[in-house]
Chains A and B, each alone.
Chain A
Amino acid sequence: MTGGVRLARLAPPLTLLILLGPLAFGLAGTALPALGYLPELGGTEFTTAHFSALAEVPGITRSAVLSILIGLVTTLVSLGAVAGFVASDLGTCGFARMRRMISPLLSVPHAAAAFGLAFLIAPSGMLMRLVSPWLTGYDQPPDVLIVNDPLALSMMAGLIVKEIPFLFLVTLAALPQTRHVETMRLGRSLGYGRIASFVFLLWPPLYRQIRLAVFAVVAYATSVVDVALILGPHLPATLPVRLIDWMNDPDLETRFLASAGAILQLGVTLTALLAWVGLERIGAAMVGRARNCGHRMQRDRIVRAGARMVMIASAAIVFGGIAVLALWSVSGLWQFPDALPANFSLRSWMQALPRMSGPLATTLAVAGLSTLIALVLTILCLEREYETGRGRGGGALLLIYLPLIVPQISFMFGLQVLSIWLGVDASFPALVLAHLVFVLPYVFLSLSDPWRAHDRRHDLIAAGLGMSRTRTLIRIRMPMLTRAILTAAAVGFSVSVGQYLPTVLIGAGRLTTVTTEAVALAAGGNRRVIGVYAFMQTLLPFLAFAIATGLPGLVFRNRRGLRV
């Protein structure tokens, strides 16, 4: 076992460079203007004036507090639903069904799900149309504020239905590393209810493994732009939406304010994360007390039913929303309160399809390449970790998750200036690199747990048969982990497909993807066109997940042991 896989030695430093380089330069490029330094706009002296100006902006405190609350509530509800569902249904048929449903759910982009939700629940939306006028008596939609409500309830709902599949997938990946079957059996045999067995025994080790993913959810929800634009409150909007407005302001001086705001966003996200750590402590203390009280909580049916309902409802909302958008994409005139369009037309598709081939090619190329690079780096990093025996937790590789936790807005503008300065903006390699910054952490997140759970004895046997480390990696380990690798690839692919901000800023509008086209067209608010693009945006990751699920069965049809 000497030498190891040679390339693996280089992988961790290279990975960190690829991820942290853009992050560091991007943050610097944002921080300098925030402090008043941007010579081209006349800012040559350092000053805190822009932060003072930021503090004077009407409603800025409310925007910031709202963003923090959205991050915490969204994470709490979606994590609670996933935990409750796993606790109550682990091992049942329903669990297996939900497991199969998870990839299509994950492949729906946030913006598409948000549009779907908005059209379901709006006063003139699908649900109201189904019961009007025969039940409600409404010939005109009632003037009530549901979407864009000041408390951001609809926005939180939109985020929750999309974070549930993500957290569920992460939990599924972590489960095999706990002895969940035995643990639950032990709890049940001592007379504890399902929820109690889960919370007292299985949750602590499980949560430790998914903690980083939960942090990523907190950070994402505090800094999301597209969902907030569609579902979020208007007066005032959440902080990230106001940042985008300032960056887009024709008065270029507003850039300073936007940069100061981007730094505030960093603070908002950090505050939400700290608050979350506080909540973790409180939660742990509460679980400890409940455990020590000796209650077995056998009558947990209501909690279980509740968790199951949230899970099913979230799936139904996402699927229902996409179905309704698909209907819009082929609808002619469709007025309230008609439950169905008056006529159908393929006009939107006929107009959109010919124009989609270029963006589609770019989408596939960027997603394919960035996923491939991410996979290679991840596998080599994990191999290196395995060789050196340095496990999870302590290593510098934790830094891999930084791009998921630092808000995109806070470093993307700085990165854009840097890429122009280097003359690599609007170039294909720069775009792949920008996507890689976000694809790599997710691929790492998806692959590292199954990789670490792999039984080392296979490698020992291979070594005993005289195989080198490289050969063992390629001939034994990778085939046995094919399903995990393909799933990680599908996750990476869908992350790349969904990237908006990096594509717009680094692609400089010349390299467009299905997602940037969708958002540009969404500005026109035309539901038919949004339907077409949302459908395509969903289809690509869906195909990737379908391949990830179907391919292993096909490749290994003559190896029973590798089938699942």
Chain B
Amino acid sequence: MLKSLSVLAGALTAALVLTPAAQAADPDPRDWDAVLEEARGQTVYFNAWGGSENINSYIDWAGATLKDRFGVDVVHVKLDDTANAVAKVLAEKAAGKNEGGSVDLIWINGENFASMKRQNLLMAPDWTTRLPNWAYVDHENKPTILTDFTIATDGLESPWGGAKMVFFHDIARTPADSVPNSSAELLDWAQRNPGRFSYPQPPDFIGSSFLKQVLLETITDKSKLRKPVNEARFAEDAVPLFAYLDKLHPSLWRSGKAYPQNYPDMKQKLADGELDIIFAFNPSEASAGIAAGELPDTVRSFTYDKGTLGNTHFVAIPYNAAAKAGALVLANFLISPEAQARKQDPAIWGDPTVLSMNKLSAQDRAAFDALDLGIATLKPDELGPALDEPHPDWMEHIEGEWLRRYGAAN
């Protein structure tokens, strides 16, 4: 209560003092000392998905460290859907609030990024490549850092973690030699084991990713996926995908009449024995689940030899953020070797790093090497190739078509 009152008082004072002044220039990360100076005393409202306790703990840690070292307060605004933050910025733009906005930093992925970039809702120009810790980022070898779902990031969002689609099964129920090695084999497996596989209902992010994986494996001309959908040819291009789904759905959990809510729901259903094969976008989810007592220690991972979807998730600063300097300091801290090594530890979070081991000091590299990735996590060389995300336009079309075909009838 006291805290909220003092925040309120602070906001009122700030409003009174700052209103007449002209819009201040955005902080420039090339003059990092000035950024640090301006950031001191700021409160950064970091809008990030709040559905996972280990991620929340990690963000708490980052906030406490920032407070200690740079005098920046970090408040984690816990979202149940990232689009809420996008909508908030939009509502502010609608109300003409072009500065002093309520969102300072957003944890974002391709579709929301594409939408914000299109609507000019992001802080510009390029700030990410000017961050001091950008020097460690592996932008040469990880192409998804510079193009997010085929959209150029243009330095408008700073990478935070890697992601790759990985499948999980429990060897106590499903022997390791019986698991599928492609979407085609998965269909075969599902038909032999009816009711034991499902995917979250689109537009859930993980569910949509499953559809994209099948699309990537079934489309005849992959180069089409790098461009927006050709409206006239979409129906034809998507024939193999929907033929696949038509065959798969009768064998799904609950015969496709209900779907898991999201990835954590699938994890619970694996533990409950409702599902036998699940998947996630974080290779060490299963190890983290075992460590947390949510999954039995007989759970293991697998991917496809020919590759699964891979991408990067980012943080971005809205154009009207109130604490831009503080947001820059936080974004820079999040790609520091220290923060990235902690993030990759399955006991903490287990999210793959965006840094290049070759660019790190020996000491920093040792911290990464010392991580115990856990019994259910594949080594980086076992993960298989990463397939690029299609243009976001594909996802919109596929989600719409999915809803038209399967969304209304039982």
Flag whether A345 is at the interface (Cβ < 8 A): yes
Flag whether B410 is at the interface (Cβ < 8 A): yes
Flag whether B279 is at the interface (Cβ < 8 A): no
Residues of A within 8 A of B267 (CB): 525
Whether A509 contacts B409 by the Cβ 8 Å rule is no
Whether A58 contacts B408 by the Cβ 8 Å rule is yes
Flag whether B32 is at the interface (Cβ < 8 A): no
Q: Which of B87, B112, B115, B408 contacts A59 (CB 8 A)?
A: B408
Residues of B within 8 A of A123 (CB): 274
Whether A428 contacts B257 by the Cβ 8 Å rule is no
Whether A509 contacts B47 by the Cβ 8 Å rule is yes
**Assuming A41-B94, A145-B257, A524-B52, what are 5 further A-B pairs, CB within 8 angstroms?**
A41-B90, A335-B272, A509-B102, A520-B79, A524-B264
Interface stretch (choices B367-375, B380-388, B399-407) = B399-407
Flag whether B396 is at the interface (Cβ < 8 A): yes
Residues of A within 8 A of B4 (CB): 361-362, 365, 428, 511
* A519 → B minimal CB distance (Å): 6
Residues of B within 8 A of A333 (CB): 271, 293-296
Residues of B within 8 A of A336 (CB): 272-274
Assign chain A's interface to a size class: 35 or more
Whether B258 contacts A234 by the Cβ 8 Å rule is yes
Q: Which of B45, B95, B262 contacts A417 (CB 8 A)?
A: B95
Residues of A within 8 A of B102 (CB): 425-426, 508-510
Whether B95 contacts A517 by the Cβ 8 Å rule is no
Chain A 129-159 per-residue mask, 1 if CB under 8 angstroms from chain B, else 0: 0000000000111011101111000000000
Within 8 A of B (CB), among A243-267: 245, 247-252, 255
User: Which of A39, A426, A524 has the most chain B CB atoms inside 10 A of its CB?
Assistant: A524
Flag whether B53 is at the interface (Cβ < 8 A): yes
Residues of B within 8 A of A247 (CB): 87
Within 8 A of A (CB), among B84-131: 84-88, 90-97, 102, 111-112, 114-115, 119
Q: Which of A145, A236, A348 contacts B407 (CB 8 A)?
A: A236
Residues of A within 8 A of B366 (CB): none
Q: Contacts A355-B60, A426-B102; is A124 near B50 (CB within 8 Å)?
A: no
Chain A 331-344 per-residue mask, 1 if CB under 8 angstroms from chain B, else 0: 11111110000010
Flag whether A521 is at the interface (Cβ < 8 A): yes
Give 22 pairs: A residue, B residue, CB < 8 Å, sorted on A.
Answer: A40-B93, A41-B90, A41-B94, A58-B404, A145-B255, A236-B408, A247-B87, A250-B83, A250-B112, A252-B87, A255-B90, A333-B295, A336-B273, A352-B53, A420-B92, A427-B8, A509-B102, A516-B78, A520-B79, A523-B50, A524-B52, A526-B268
Whether B406 contacts A235 by the Cβ 8 Å rule is yes
Whether A150 contacts B56 by the Cβ 8 Å rule is no
C-alpha gap A289/B82 in the complex (Å): 58
Flag whether A408 is at the interface (Cβ < 8 A): no
Residues of B within 8 A of A355 (CB): 56, 60
Flag whether A358 is at the interface (Cβ < 8 A): yes
Q: Contacts A335-B272, A523-B262; is A417 near B257 (CB within 8 Å)?
A: no
Q: For residue B172, which residue of chain A has the nearest CB? A: A335
Q: For residue A419, which residue of chain B has the nearest CB? A: B95
Chain B 267-292 per-residue mask, 1 if CB under 8 angstroms from chain A, else 0: 11101111000000000000000001
Residues of A at under 8 Å CB distance from B?
A: 38-41, 58-59, 62, 123-124, 139-141, 143-145, 147-150, 233-236, 245, 247-252, 255, 331-337, 343, 345, 347-348, 351-352, 355, 358, 361-362, 364-365, 416-417, 420-421, 423, 425-428, 504, 508-512, 516-517, 519-529
Residues of B within 8 A of A361 (CB): 1-4
Residues of A within 8 A of B7 (CB): 510
Residues of A within 8 A of B18 (CB): none
Q: For residue B85, which residue of chain A has the nearest CB? A: A509
Residues of A within 8 A of B86 (CB): 250, 252
Residues of A within 8 A of B52 (CB): 524, 526
Whether B274 contacts A141 by the Cβ 8 Å rule is yes
Whether B78 contacts A520 by the Cβ 8 Å rule is yes
Whether B258 contacts A343 by the Cβ 8 Å rule is no
* A193 → B minimal CB distance (Å): 43
C-alpha gap A62/B409 in the complex (Å): 9
Residues of A within 8 A of B253 (CB): 143
* A520 → B minimal CB distance (Å): 4
Flag whether B27 is at the interface (Cβ < 8 A): no
C-alpha gap A365/B57 in the complex (Å): 25
C-alpha gap A423/B257 in the complex (Å): 45
Residues of B within 8 A of A144 (CB): 254
Residues of A within 8 A of B242 (CB): none
Q: Which of B3, B53, B79, B403 contacts A526 (CB 8 A)?
A: B53
* B250 → A minimal CB distance (Å): 12
C-alpha gap A111/B199 in the complex (Å): 24
C-alpha gap A517/B80 in the complex (Å): 9
Residues of A within 8 A of B259 (CB): 234
Whether B45 contacts A510 by the Cβ 8 Å rule is yes
Whether A521 contacts B53 by the Cβ 8 Å rule is yes
C-alpha gap A397/B336 in the complex (Å): 60
Flag whether B203 is at the interface (Cβ < 8 A): yes
Residues of A within 8 A of B292 (CB): 347
Give 3 closest A-B pairs by Cβ, nearest first.
A59-B408, A524-B51, A143-B195
C-alpha gap A150/B409 in the complex (Å): 10
Whether A235 contacts B408 by the Cβ 8 Å rule is yes
Whether A332 contacts B115 by the Cβ 8 Å rule is no
C-alpha gap A144/B255 in the complex (Å): 9
Within 8 A of A (CB), among B2-51: 2-5, 7-8, 11, 15, 45, 47, 49-51
Flag whether B338 is at the interface (Cβ < 8 A): no
